[in-house]
Amino acid sequence: MVHVGTGYDVHQLVAGRKLFLGGVEIPHTKGLDGHSDADALMHAICDAVLGALGEEDIGHFFPNTDPRWKGVPSKIFLEEAARIVALRQGRIVNIDATVIAQAPKIYPYIKEMKLRIAEALAMNLQRVGIKATTNEHMGFIGREEGIAAMAVAAIDLPE
């Protein structure tokens, strides 16, 4: 039976941090603020996978109050989500995600993001979809104060 989960994450852009999205370092004047590497795309995907499993969100598994997760690459979170899927004898059918950022331009990095996400989730690259859009200069994203991501995951689980 296929189960579907959704995920959403947002982080503030700040000076003095590197920008990571989809496991890829993207050259930019600011990076995302957070306890780990603040990779909003990987966080949204992790929440989508956990949601499809009926689990709590990423903060339950990797709380920002735990020093073990300080500065950790978010691929570790995706690898753990994939491990939980495998423990339940499931298979991730596909991932579809969107990054919402006014700047920088995301398109040049999408192929590498897909590869890193597919590797972390131990799944076929062709089953990972990533898109990017702006916020048409509206709101905090349009003012380049933050970046958001949303994702959907479909997981085939035995009944």
Domains in the chain: boundaries: 2-156
11: amino acid identity, one letter: H
Query: Rounded to the nearest 5°, which phi and psi values hold at 126?
Result: -70, -10
**Is the domain 2-156 a CATH 3.30.1330.50 member?**
yes
Tell me how far apart the alpha carbons of residues 85 and 155 are, in angstroms, rounded to a whole number. Answer: 8
Predicted confidence (pLDDT) per residue in 18-51, tens digit: 999 999 999 999 999 999 999 999 999 999 999 9
Predicted confidence (pLDDT) per residue in 80-108, tens digit: 999 999 999 999 999 999 999 999 999 99
- Judge whether residue 131 has pLDDT over 90: yes
pLDDT category at 120 given cuts 50, 70, 90 is very high
pTM of the model: 0.97
Q: Please state, for a pLDDT cut of 90, what percent of the chain lies above it.
A: 92
